[in-house]
Amino acid sequence: MYSTCIFCQKPLGANEAIEQFPVGKRLVFDEARGRLWVVCRRCERWNLTPLDTRWEAIEECERAFHAARLRTSTDNIGLAKAPDGLDLIRIGKPLRPEFAAWRYGDQFGRRRRRTYMIGGGVILAFGAVAATSIGSLGGLWGNLPNIIRAMHSVNVKTHDGRVLKIRGAAFSQAKLTADNGTPTLRLKHKRREEVFEGEEAVRVVATLLPAVNFAGASQKTVDAAVKTLAHHGGSEGYLESLWAGKADALTKTTRKGVIKPVPLASLKGTAPITIEMALHEEQERRAIAGELHVLETAWKDAEEIAAIADDMFVPDETEALIQKMKREVNDPNTPT
């Protein structure tokens, strides 16, 4: 039984309430459609389970949900808390936009709140230093997104079996393009350019985007992204448009009329979370259509990667940025 998040390779935790599926601290189940997800409390992504025992687990989730005392619900979605602290979310028959808005609003909202907490901690940590100069406080606030992003890293497995630790500083250089309809991702890793194409590019981008979108999004932004997907007929239509170059989300035009790719960390508007949502849903669509081996492989890769690397660190780039801000505080005339 898999116990690691497909996306961030962190442990999903355990529960004692569901004997048939003792994995995870938040389970989402849809009895009518036979779907069971484990929500990673670290990256907030939904891990669709490809297990053969899911029907028994779903039935047990249904019984536990109705037995729980603490419960809030609408006509379509309900939340209950089991005695051991397990969150159970029961999906009824919501319309797709309603389900997507609820699902991703919760996901991106949690990221947003966590980012505020981390940002507040960074400000407090440097409060004594920043208090000596108003200018330094402004510089700290301006660099805050870069500091938090640099604290992340993502482990990805290549088609030839290598495990790459992609640091947060590389997100600003990672560029996704669609060359003749083929997704292509280029990024720097240890002073070497790594190139991923086709399905591998899609898989790696889907792994990177939760870290790129660490700051989450407001419900208004999530609703706009959901509408974009609906306009294209869902994730499949949106991605087809993206790879065909019909969407301008991945490029920008310079004043001289030159079209250049936009780094993942610099995607504008709703594009970054729309792409993340579309890639996530497309993976599930394929799995539900019968390609469960894709999920089996993803879970196994996640378990393997988790055994050899951790996805959080304080990189050299972060320390260098901190030291730079300290120098600016001591000497406001220090060149940038």
Query: Residue 318's pLDDT is what?
Result: 46
pLDDT for position 317: 47
Q: Tell me the C-alpha distance between 85 and 93, whole Å.
A: 26
pLDDT tens by residue, 287-329 = 777 655 666 777 777 777 777 654 434 444 445 544 555 555 4
SS3 284: helix
Alpha carbons 90 and 28: distance in angstroms, whole number:
6
Q: Which residues have C-beta within 8 Å of that of residue 153, sequence separation ≥ 6?
A: 165, 166, 167, 168, 211, 311, 312, 313, 315
Reported confidence tier of residue 335, pLDDT bands at 50, 70, 90: very low
User: What integer pLDDT is reported at residue 250 of this predicted model?
Assistant: 86
What's the mean pLDDT when you consider all of the chain?
78
How far apart CA 295 and CA 314 sit, in angstroms, is 31
Residue-level pLDDT at 151: 66
Q: How far apart are CA 277 and CA 284, in angstroms?
A: 11
Give helix 271-288 / helix 292-308 axis angle, nearest 10°: 120
Entry pTM: 0.72
pLDDT digits (tens, 9 = 90+) for 130-182: 454 444 545 544 555 556 666 677 888 888 888 888 887 788 888 999 877 88
pLDDT in tens, 18-27: 999 999 999 9
Q: What is the CA radius of gyration of the chain?
A: 21
Whether 119 has a pLDDT exceeding 80, the answer reads no
Per-residue pLDDT at 336:
43
Contact 76, 91 (CB under 8 A): yes
What phi, psi does 253 have (nearest 5°)? -110, 125
Mean pLDDT for the stretch of residues 103-115: 79
Contact 68, 29 (CB under 8 A): no
Tell me how crowded residue 184 is: count the other CB atoms within 10 A of its CB.
18
Backbone angles phi, psi at 27, to 5 degrees: -115, 140
DSSP E strands in the chain: the ranges are 26-30, 35-39, 46-48, 70-73, 77-81, 87-91, 153-157, 163-167, 175-179, 182-189, 192-197, 251-253, 259-261
pLDDT of res. 134: 47
Q: Quick: pLDDT tens for 184-200.
A: 999 988 888 999 999 89
Condensed to tens digits (0 to 9), the pLDDT of residues 254-296 reads: 888 778 888 888 888 899 999 999 998 888 887 777 655 666 7
Q: Region 27-34: what's the mean pLDDT?
A: 89
Please give the Cα distance from 87 to 47 (Å, whole number): 15
In degrees, to the nearest 5, what angle opens at C-alpha 228 toward C-alphas 223 and 230?
Answer: 95
